[in-house]
Amino acid sequence: MIHDRRISSAILLGLLCSLQAVLAGKLAEIVQTARLRNGVILLVNAEPATYDEAAATGCTVRGLESDSAAVAALRKRFLAKGIYGKLSVASFDGKVLPCIDSLANIVLVGKANVSQAEALRILVPGGTALFKTDAGWQTHVKPWPKEMGEWNQYLCGADNNGAAKDSAGPPERLQWTAGSRYGRVKVVMPSVTSMVSDNGRLFTIEDMATTESGRLPKQYVLLARDAFNGCELWRHPLKDWDKEGCHPVKDIPVQLQRLVLAVDGKVYCTDGYDGPITVFDGATGDILSTFKNSENTRELAHAGGMIFAIQGEPYAFRTGVGKRKGFDALEIATVKLSARDAGSGKTLWEIPIEGTDGYIGGTLSIKSGKLAYLTRNALVCRNSKTGQEIWRQAYPYFQDMPRKGVYILKYNNSPPTLVMTEKWLFCSDLNLVKAYSMADGSLLWQGNTECNYTKNGDLFYVDGLVWTGFLKGLDPATGEVKRELQQNMTGPMSHDRCYRNRITQEYYINSKSGGTDLVALDGSGEYPGPWMRATCGLAMTPSFGRLYSSPYVCACEIGSMLLGFNCTYNQSRDQGKLMAIEPASH
């Protein structure tokens, strides 16, 4: 959602654009108005006092000076004060800012021949630029590009479509890198379990403990970063996040990944594994509220101003491959489905799912006033505003389920995916995809699909077509193949990565090469990226016109790869210039 950032931009425009002069202390006021806990401030030909003011904000400050003497003097000043590092300064030609696009939260330009377009180029969307003119200081706010989308929930939206309305493209350029170079060993739960985005911020659940040994205690936190420059904004510890001891990395349960979402400037997450639903301020990390009687929540979803929750027993965290244990875990799950007001947390309705029903974890899907989910016996559709049942369709979940081997692994850790549209409901179930009418639940058609490695098969609805793992676009009403994409580079990796694939309005994003491969939906080409892969079990996140990947841990095809937490983009720079690096003066 872009509600919060639009408000922020409107506040900045209203408070700042009308000001023709910015006096002492106004830089700090802008930081406060923008609610920056951290970020990047770029000062261009600024006064020494302005550097002091910028340093007091706690942000990372970068200076660019066209006078080499000013650079030397400022470096001596920083060293004398012991603040060099958080503050730095370099020379430039007075015209072109030697920075990548969308880097700084605030740009202040003194007496320089830097154009407004050049300053706005390096601003993050919603960022503020101040220009010194003969009439005083003028302020401009960079608008948000319409083509930038967000990834608010586990599969982008509550409908489970996993389709980003975003302009992210092939990983050709590195925006920023951060965090640990590697995750922990593959025999434990992933170092990064979840990733969502909202209002120019990236929210993850990460293990911040050392990666030296998988046996050392874990320290999972909810962590916020600036999505454009990678600056850490805040973190909140999560108690017992690894309580179930899930392992290895590819086995991470979908339910655990559905416990955090970000929307309208707020982050909803359980405060620890068994903790209550807690609402965080996305900008600051401050706790805004805690929902009453929401302990033991296993899934969260947001739609229509409501928070939907599955509360009760976890769904089959330990698979018990080839044993009866895994099936018992599936059959005995007793939960409660509830809807709450997203603002107040007030419970609007709740219903039990118990007995012979047995909720199938990770299947809750919501769209346009309706919700659906799977039980052991049925596909159920309800009114999302009242909880009243609309229809129920028989769905024998266990009927053809293999009793041993990798298929149990797939079922227990990546249950069927339900994708909702206005007219149709699609279900991807192992090697099968089914289509139902949203009107009455009648089965319209079914066909074959392809499973991902230890994960359920792809299922997306984009450009009026249903997309499956075969790279085929199907007619949603009939299942007829309407478009088929070709992908030539399917190695050197012997299998796809251990996570769900992604899609945007332009690209099908899979991992056939062992990395991040983009196949154009219009059939115009493919863009292999074997050097970029995400944490096992999590996958890439397309958002804000960029691709985000978390630290890798496995040893599968590691001859060429990026290390650490990375943000890439593919837009070409309007201007380019190498910055001359000069030694610091002492």
Per-residue pLDDT reduced to its tens digit, 358-384: 888 899 999 999 999 998 889 999 999
287 has pLDDT over 50: yes
Residue 209: φ, ψ to 5° = -70, 165
Place of tokens 């660019």: 64
pLDDT at 522: 96
Residue 388, CB half-sphere, CA atoms under 13 Å: how many? 4
Percent of the chain with pLDDT over 70: 86
- pLDDT recorded at residue 517: 95
Q: What is the pLDDT of residue 586?
A: 52
Q: Are 555 and 187 in contact (CB under 8 A)?
A: no
Can you tell me the distance from the alpha carbon of 382 to that of 388, in angstroms, rounded to the nearest whole number? 5
Distance CA 95, CA 32 (A): 29
Side by side, the strands of the sheet bearing 266-270 are 260-263, 266-270, 277-281, 287-290
- What does the pLDDT read at residue 1? 52
Taken in order 98, 103, 108, 109, the sign of the CA dihedral is positive
Give the pLDDT score at 2: 54
* Closest C-alpha among 251, 241, 30, 272 to residue 137: 30
Intervals of CATH 2.130.10.10 along the chain: 263-552
Token pair for 160: 């489970």
pLDDT attached to residue 501:
92
Residue 20's pLDDT band (cuts 50, 70, 90): very low
What average pLDDT does this structure show over 410-424? 79
Percent of the chain's residues with pLDDT above 90: 63
pLDDT of residue 528: 94
- CA 258 to centroid of chain Cα atoms: 12
Mean pLDDT is highest, among 120-124, 182-186, 392-396, for 120-124
pLDDT of residue 585 exceeding 70: no
* Structure tokens that stand for 259 in this block: 């416990």
The pLDDT value given to residue 202? 99
The confidence score (pLDDT) of residue 301 equals 99
What pLDDT was estimated at residue 524? 95
pLDDT score for 102: 95
Laid out side by side, the sheet with 424-429 consists of 417-420, 424-429, 432-437, 443-448
Q: Which of 453-457, 506-510, 523-527 has the lowest mean pLDDT?
A: 453-457
Residue 51: how many other CB atoms lie within 10 Å: 21
Q: pLDDT tens digits, residue range 290-309?
A: 999 999 999 999 999 999 99
Write down the pLDDT at residue 12: 47
Q: So what's the pLDDT on residue 313?
A: 86
- pLDDT given for residue 253 in this prediction: 80
DSSP lists the bridge partners of residue 548 as: 541, 567
How far is the C-alpha of 208 from the C-alpha of 43, rounded, in Å? 32
Question: In Å, what is the CA distance from 221 to each residue of 228, 241, 311?
Answer: 21, 9, 22
Predicted confidence at residue 321, as pLDDT, reads 41
The backbone torsions φ and ψ at residue 5, rounded to the nearest 5 degrees and listed phi first, read: -70, -30
Tokens 């299998």 belong to 495
pLDDT of residue 332: 55
Kindly tell me if the per-residue pLDDT of 404 is higher than 70: no
Mean local confidence (pLDDT), 321-350:
76
The chain-wide mean pLDDT, for the chain, equals 87
**pLDDT surpasses 50 at 406:** no
Domain with CATH 3.40.50.150 in the chain: 3-141
Amino acid at 285: G
pLDDT recorded at residue 331: 54
Quote the pLDDT of residue 484.
96
Question: Is the link from the previous residue into 248 a cis peptide, with omega within 30 of 0?
Answer: yes
Question: So what's the architecture of 3-141 in CATH?
Answer: 3-Layer(aba) Sandwich (3.40)
Could you report the per-residue pLDDT of 536-564, keeping only the tens digit for each?
A: 888 999 999 999 999 988 878 888 889 99
Query: 186-195, 277-286, 293-302, 396-405: which range is least confident on average?
Result: 396-405
Please tell me which residue, 284 or 577, carries the higher pLDDT value: 284
Quote the Cα angle for 194-199-205, to 5°. 15
Tens digit of pLDDT for each residue in 198-251? 999 999 999 998 888 877 888 999 999 999 999 999 999 999 998 877 766 677
Structure tokens at 397: 């979940």
Residue 409 pLDDT: 43
Strand partners, 493: none
CA distance to 16, 226, 231, 293, 388, per residue, from 266 (Å): 25, 14, 18, 20, 29
- Report pTM: 0.90
> Quick one: pLDDT at residue 130?
94
Chain position carrying tokens 């309800």: 382
**What average pLDDT does this structure show over 508-533?**
93
Residue 101 confidence (pLDDT):
93
Query: How far is residue 242's CA from residue 277's CA, in Å, rounded to a whole number?
Result: 17
**Domain covering 263-552 in this structure, CATH number:** 2.130.10.10
Query: What is the pLDDT, as a whole number, of residue 450?
Result: 80
**Rounded CA separation 280/291 (Å):** 12
Give every CB contact of residue 514 below 8 A, 6+ residues apart in sequence: 491, 492, 493, 497, 530, 533, 556, 557
Exposed / middle / buried, residue 531 (Cβ in 10 Å: 0-12, 13-18, 19+): middle
Report pLDDT for 70: 96
Better-predicted residue by pLDDT, 23 or 167: 167
